[in-house]
């Protein structure tokens, strides 16, 4: 059991509490460096892919100076055990809760009390600005899911985590993103081995559009529909039920029952049009998808409209009363 890690100069740091655990290993605090965390790869991963993992992490460490001002839990230095064996890396320690809890009808009230559209939009803008910087460095996220982004409930600040899974290329080597989720994978990559896929700005933009939709729509997947159809099948077919040209309400394949149409109606016209373009035409034509810069522009415009009072800041706006409805004498 490792209780202390060392840098290349054999300077040691005591491990603190375990912060998280996944299929590749565990993440720990450092007792004397609250600003840092350490990822330790599981022994079976080190035995199977240790040299490969180390090559990628150290290639990422070489890029740290160019990315140090970005909200990333990016590898900063390699760490070793007492026997000088490479076991992982140190990174900036992110603060907050996974976006999965923000984009959830009930968990959002617990972990993000008083959540507003302005808060969500500001956080998404920071996230997208970081992605644009990564793309400029030839780095692609690949695995875009709500658990890979932390959001601070107090400030809205974002941290991108699990950065060692990002796809990147150097002059010497190409490092794929070997993981992913079918429900956020663009159709052109469905059914393929993630470790053999070359991700692109267009594939990232599709996956990010799904995440943006989920954050603004209380976690609802854009390809959910009436009738229990598998969202992945709808994604593959480009069956997006919202907006002009969508399926008739109440019929097979339509928007699910609940507040979703109301939530959709309070988005800006620009965002609605972009979602339709991304999830219908963009399902079959990557070039038709709004890019990351366009999503950033649209969300910035949306934030301005909320600030001006033109669009509601309430996350769960009340349904309008039917025209001609009588008011109660008790009100």
Q: For residue range 131-156, list pLDDT tens digits in order.
A: 999 999 999 999 999 999 999 999 99
Statement to judge: residues 74 and 114 lie in one domain: no
The CATH number that applies at residue 47 is: 3.30.200.20
Q: Is 319 contained in some domain?
A: no
Statement to judge: residues 55 and 101 lie in one domain: no
pLDDT of 83 > 80? The answer is yes
Statement to judge: residues 49 and 151 lie in one domain: no
Q: How confident is the model at residue 168 (pLDDT cuts 50, 70, 90)?
A: very high
Torsion, Cα of 147, 153, 158, 161 (10° steps): -30
Among residues 74, 92, 110, the one where a domain terminates is: 92
CA neighbor of 224 nearest in space, from 201, 257, 198, 195: 257
Cβ–Cβ under 8 Å, residues 91 and 76: yes
Q: Is 86 contained in some domain?
A: yes
Statement to judge: residues 63 and 113 lie in one domain: no
pLDDT of 108 > 90? The answer is yes
Helices (H), the chain: 43-67, 99-102, 107-111, 117-136, 201-216, 231-237, 260-265, 269-276, 282-284, 292-307
- Local structure of 80: helix, strand or coil: strand
Q: What is the mean pLDDT of residues 283-308?
A: 97
Q: In this predicted model, what pLDDT tens digit does every residue of 7-35 receive, in sequence order?
A: 999 999 999 999 998 888 999 999 999 99
Q: Percentage of the chain surpassing pLDDT 90?
A: 81
How many domains does the structure of the chain reveal?
Answer: 2
Report pLDDT for 326. 37
The CATH number that applies at residue 287 is: 1.10.510.10
Q: Percentage of the chain surpassing pLDDT 70?
A: 93
Report pLDDT for 330. 27
Name the least confident of 120-134, 145-159, 166-180, 229-243: 229-243
Q: In this predicted model, what pLDDT tens digit does every residue of 183-236 receive, in sequence order?
A: 999 999 999 999 999 999 999 999 999 999 999 999 999 998 866 578 898 999
Bridge partner residues of 149 (DSSP) = 160
Statement to judge: residues 127 and 218 lie in one domain: yes
Distance CA 139, CA 69 (A): 16
Report pLDDT for 329. 29
Cβ–Cβ under 8 Å, residues 76 and 89: yes
Average pLDDT, the chain: 91
pLDDT of 255 > 90? The answer is no
Report pLDDT for 252. 67
Statement to judge: residues 112 and 163 lie in one domain: yes
Q: What is the mean pLDDT of residues 170-193?
A: 93
The two three-digit tokens of residue 293, written as one number: 């810069």
Report pLDDT for 182. 92
pLDDT of 324 > 90? The answer is no
Q: Is 323 contained in some domain?
A: no
Q: Which residue has the higher pLDDT, 272 or 249?
A: 272
Q: How confident is the model at residue 327 (pLDDT cuts 50, 70, 90)?
A: very low
Report pLDDT for 256. 81
Statement to judge: residues 108 and 236 lie in one domain: yes
CA neighbor of 312 nearest in space, from 155, 116, 124: 116
The two three-digit tokens of residue 105, written as one number: 């009808």
Q: What is the mean pLDDT of residues 306-315?
A: 94
Per-residue burial over 97-108, b if 16 or more Cβ lie within 10 Å, else e, is bbbbbbbbeeeb
Q: Is 329 contained in some domain?
A: no
Among residues 70, 92, 114, the one where a domain terminates is: 92
pLDDT of 123 > 50? The answer is yes
Among residues 62, 92, 122, the one where a domain terminates is: 92
Residue with tokens 């998404």: 124
Statement to judge: residues 143 and 227 lie in one domain: yes
The two three-digit tokens of residue 296, written as one number: 């950033």
Q: Is 314 contained in some domain?
A: no
CA neighbor of 282 nearest in space, from 194, 208, 202: 202
Tell me which residue range forms the domain holding 84. 4-92
Run of H or E including 142:
none
Report pLDDT for 331. 28
Q: In this predicted model, what pLDDT tens digit does every residue of 258-267 receive, in sequence order?
A: 888 899 999 9
DSSP 235-275: HHHT---SSTTPPPTTSTTSPPSSTHHHHHHTS-HHHHHHH
Cβ–Cβ under 8 Å, residues 272 and 213: no
Q: Is 83 contained in some domain?
A: yes
Statement to judge: residues 181 and 61 lie in one domain: no
Statement to judge: residues 143 and 292 lie in one domain: yes
Statement to judge: residues 126 and 87 lie in one domain: no
Statement to judge: residues 280 and 135 lie in one domain: yes
Report pLDDT for 325. 42
Q: Is 325 contained in some domain?
A: no
Total residue length of the chain: 331
The two three-digit tokens of residue 239, written as one number: 């069956």
Q: Is 259 contained in some domain?
A: yes
CB contact set of 189 (below 8 Å; sequence gap of 6+) = 180, 197, 199, 203
């Amino acid at each position: 059991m490792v209780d202390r890690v060392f840098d290349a100069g054999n300077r040691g740091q005591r491990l603190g509490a375990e912060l998280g655990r996944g299929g590749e290993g565990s993440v720990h605090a450092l007792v004397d460096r609250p600003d840092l965390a350490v990822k330790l790869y599981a022994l079976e991963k080190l035995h199977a892919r240790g040299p490969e993992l180390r090559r990628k992490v150290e290639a990422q460490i070489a890029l740290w100076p160019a990315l140090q001002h970005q909200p990333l839990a990016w590898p900063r230095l390699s760490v070793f055990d007492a026997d000088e064996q490479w076991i992982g890396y140190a990174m900036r320690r992110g603060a907050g809760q996974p976006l999965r809890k923000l984009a959830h009808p009930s968990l959002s009230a617990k972990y993000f009390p008083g959540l507003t559209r302005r808060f969500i939009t500001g956080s998404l803008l920071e996230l997208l600005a970081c992605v644009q910087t990564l793309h400029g460095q030839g780095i692609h996220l690949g695995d875009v899911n709500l658990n890979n982004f932390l959001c601070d409930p107090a400030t809205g600040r974002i941290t991108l985590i699990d950065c060692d899974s990002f796809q990147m290329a150097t002059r010497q080597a190409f490092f794929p993103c070997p993981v992913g989720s079918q429900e956020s994978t663009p159709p052109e990559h469905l059914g393929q081995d993630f470790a053999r896929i070359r991700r692109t700005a267009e594939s990232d933009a599709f996956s990010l559009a799904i995440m943006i939709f989920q954050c603004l729509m209380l976690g609802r997947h854009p390809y959910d529909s009436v009738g229990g159809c598998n969202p992945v099948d709808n994604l593959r077919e480009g069956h997006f039920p919202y907006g002009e040209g969508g399926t008739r309400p109440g019929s097979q394949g339509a928007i699910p029952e609940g507040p979703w149409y109301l939530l959709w109606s309070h988005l800006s016209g620009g965002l609605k049009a972009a979602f339709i373009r991304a999830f219908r035409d963009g399902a079959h034509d990557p070039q038709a998808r709004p890019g990351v810069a366009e999503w950033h522009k649209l969300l910035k415009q949306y934030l301005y409209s909320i600030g001006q009072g033109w669009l509601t800041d309430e996350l769960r706006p009340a349904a309008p009363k039917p025209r001609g409805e009588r008011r109660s004498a008790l009100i």
